[in-house]
Structure 1
Amino acid sequence: MTNALNERDQLRNAVTRQPGDFIAWVMLADAELGIGDARAGETAASRALQLRPQHPEALARLGRARWMQGRHDEAAALLQLACQCAPQHPGMALWLGHVLEDANQPEAAADAYRRAHALAPDEAYMAAQRLNWQRRLCDWRDIDALSQQVRRAVVQGNPAVEPFAFLSEDATTAEQLACARQRAGVLAQAIPRLPATQMRAHGALRVGFLSNGFGAHPTGLLTVALLEQLHAQPQLQVHLFALNRDDGSSIRQRLQAAAGQLHDVSGQPHAAIAQRIRNAGIDLLFDLRGWGGGGTPEVLAMRPAPLQLNWLAYPGTSGAPWIDYVVADGFVLPSALES
């Protein structure tokens, strides 16, 4: 993360010196989005588009920014236009697939992943996304070859395969663990941790929940009653850290009332979210996304809380050094699978 911030700062200096440098603005948009700063990424991409209207590289970055802001329909429109302008670009097709997933267009998302993999057939990440969505849609075209490609990548130590996509494979527990550890290892090496902190010895226990689903979303629906019960416990202080914007739903209102504090951290840089959690003095932090997509493992990797737990969305091993425990019952994680 330190290197990423240094690169971002260098690019900010570059566009200050040469404000007409289109490539520098595109690279700055990438850098801002890479550290989780959706607003700054949007600004840089918009400036690039002013310099070269309709340029696919700038359109794609603006689409990514809109996606990170939860503006999925706008993001899909921008990335579809980028793909039309650059039909041979696998990365744009891939990002379009991500956006269409969140826009509730599964068939279109699968088509985008299939196109991305066709353009970059040796890329394990593309193959894994395509394979995952074909399985979800019961599309068995080339399924065995795709599965072999993805499992081979994991065996070879390729960290590109996402653990959530790999869950649907008929893999061994050792393969699942290897996939998660490889993915986590890349982040652990790149992101510096905050200074160590301890759980409080006195006073109410401060419990934090981090998710992009605090609203009319399965996570909100599954947790709101629990959080309302926790709110009634005087020995607990509940803090929600919402990666998603307020959707105006009644569930969001109930969550707001149930929490001691609901922190809207949508679109904020990873480091700022981690510092917000640290400043709130959280003792136990529950990651409600894990590798389930839409979360921020970069934030957890900074260790903002002394004890961090995985619960709910990702019912498997995180393989991550920043997760201390997984919360599950014997049905979700049978004791026979313990190693």
Structure 2
Amino acid sequence: ERPQQAIASYESGLDLAPGHAKLWSSLAEALVLVHRMPDALACLEKALAIDDSNVDVWISMGDVLRVLGRSDLALERYDKALQLNPGIPHLWTHRALAFKELRRLDESVEALKRARELAPGDLAIAYILMSQLQHLARWHELEALWPEVLQHVRSGDFAQDSFAMLSHPHATAHDLLLAGAGYAALVRGGTTPVQRAPAANASAPRRLRVGYLSADFRDHPLSLLMVGVFEAHDKTRFETFGLSIYPQPAAGPMRTRLQGAFDQFIDLHAVGNAEAVARIAQLQLDILVDLTGYTSFCRPGIVV
């Protein structure tokens, strides 16, 4: 609940015992809560340098790499964890999600089926498997999953990406509301509100300052649809800021065009939520538009 205090405590502990692997991995967990992913990754690497037999650290490293957009490297860490202990259901689930992010959907399904063998009553695994089978249009395998998934949603414990429920053939409007509320609670639970400085009053007339926060300032449908809108802003009336949170440096013609469309283009992908909020506050924006919402690579902790 207080990750900044936890970070300070773990750092103090490491000053006294820098060879303590558990302290490094615990510090990484706290850093993840404030979205300092590169720092968390560095801490996990230190933990493994001290003790490379801890399966949980290998899994955590894979999870951080996935958030950083490196699902290919995450798979390597999950494979190492499998060598140490192949009987952990959530390891197979996380491995399946990495396969999904790499568009290797058949392999994702096989990993999920293995997770279900290890934890047959886990309704969350059933939901993720349903989503993957929908992508593959393997309808004959979905009949048995439909009722399981509805049970999961109606149980009150639903905490998954809720978009797949939109195509569930038996879901009611109330079911969709429950699924959406569960996903919103999941996203909110992974964020830590950041103390914000009060907005400064403009001392003189100036252009309206509008910031656009997005993980999709790259070759992505959102940018293809919106780049013309950004370019069409009346520069005599609006000062525009592109705030990128895509977790990897991006390049290419679309990125170059986007950078030219804004008065300022700021890459926030490598900084934690607190630093991102501080940088945005310095811009003294009048309007901040979150273009990513709850979709891939979202950073709700910046706008919560």
TM-score range, shorter chain: 0.7 to 0.9
Code of the aligned partner of 1:35: V
Question: 1 CA distance for matches of 2:111 and 2:198?
Answer: 44
Runs of 4+ with deviation above 4 angstroms: 186-190, 193-202
Alignment of 1:139 onto 2:138? yes
Structure 2 counterparts to residues 64-79 of structure 1, below 5 A:
64-79=63-78
Task: Spell out the pairing of 1:116-195 with structure 2 (5 A cutoff).
Answer: 116-140=115-139, 142-170=141-169, 171-185=171-185, 188=188, 191-192=192-193, 194-195=195-196
Q: Return closer, same or farther for 1:77/1:198 CA change in 2, 3 Å cut-off.
A: same
Instruction: Please give the secondary structure, in 2, of the residue aligned with 1:167.
Output: helix
- Report Cα offsets for 1:235-268 as digits up to 9, x if no partner: 2222122112332211111111111222111132
Deviations, residues 159-201 of structure 1 (Å, cap 9, x unaligned): 4132234333242333222322233345557633645967978
198 and 181 in structure 1: CA distance in 2 versus 1, 3 angstrom threshold: farther
State how far apart, in whole Å, the 1-side matches of 2:109 and 2:278 are: 37
Change (3 A) 1:147 1:17: farther
How far did residue 55 of structure 1 move? 4.1
Deviations 1:136-175 (A, max 9, x none): 1112365244332332232232241322343332423332
Structure 2's unaligned 5+ residue stretches are none
Q: Which residue of 2 aligns with 1:316?
A: none
After superposition, the CA RMSD in angstroms is 2.8
- Give the distance between the partners of 2:82 and 2:182, measured in 1 at CA: 31
Q: Partner residue of 1:29? A: 28
| Inter-partner Cα distance in structure 1 for 2:195 and 2:139 | 45
User: CA, structure 1 residues 169+55, in 2 after alignment: closer, same or farther (shift >3 Å)?
Assistant: same
Match of 2:298 among 295, 309, 324: 295
Alignment of 1:1-339 (within 5 A): 2-53=1-52, 55-140=54-139, 142-170=141-169, 171-185=171-185, 188=188, 191-192=192-193, 194-195=195-196, 203-230=206-233, 232-244=234-246, 245-301=248-304
Equivalences, count: 299
SS of residue matched to 2:284: coil
* SS of match in other structure, 2:240: strand
The residue type paired with residue 209 of structure 1 is Y
TM-score, normalised to structure 1, is: 0.77
Task: Give the stretch that moved more between structures: 48-57 or 131-140.
Answer: 48-57
Shift of 1:110: 3.0
Tell me the SS of whatever aligns to 1:206: strand
Distance change in 2, residues 1:143/1:225 (3 Å): same
Please state whether the residue corresponding to 2:9 is helix, strand or coil. Answer: helix
What letter is aligned with 1:120? A
Give the Cα separation in 1 of the matches to 2:151 and 2:26.
33
Q: Deviations over 1:69-104 (max 9, x none)?
A: 323322222223323332112222222233333323
Measure the CA separation in 2 of the matches of 1:113 and 1:237: 48
Contact 1:240 1:259 survives alignment (8 Å): yes
- 1:307 is aligned to none
TM-score, structure 2 normalization: 0.85
| Larger Rg belongs to | 2
Distance in 2, matches of 1:108 and 1:219, equals 28
* Helix, strand or coil at the partner of 1:210: strand
Q: Give the Cα separation in 2 of the matches to 1:199 and 1:143.
A: 55
Question: In structure 2, what is the Cα distance between the partners aligned to 1:88 and 1:31?
Answer: 26
Q: For 1:120 and 1:41, how far apart are their aligned partners in 2?
A: 29
SS in 1 for 2:121: coil
Instruction: Note if contact 1:205-1:236 (Cα within 8 Å) is conserved in structure 2.
Output: yes
- Residues 175 and 277 (structure 1), Cα distance of their counterparts in 2 relative to 1, 3 Å cut: farther
Q: For each residue in 1:123-145, what CA deviation from the matched residue of structure 2 results, as whole angstroms up to 9, or x when unmatched?
A: 34332222111111112365244
1:4-56 superposed Cα distances (whole Å, 9 cap, x missing partner): 33333333333333222222322222222232111111111100111123643
Which amino acid in structure 2 is aligned with residue 67 of structure 1? R
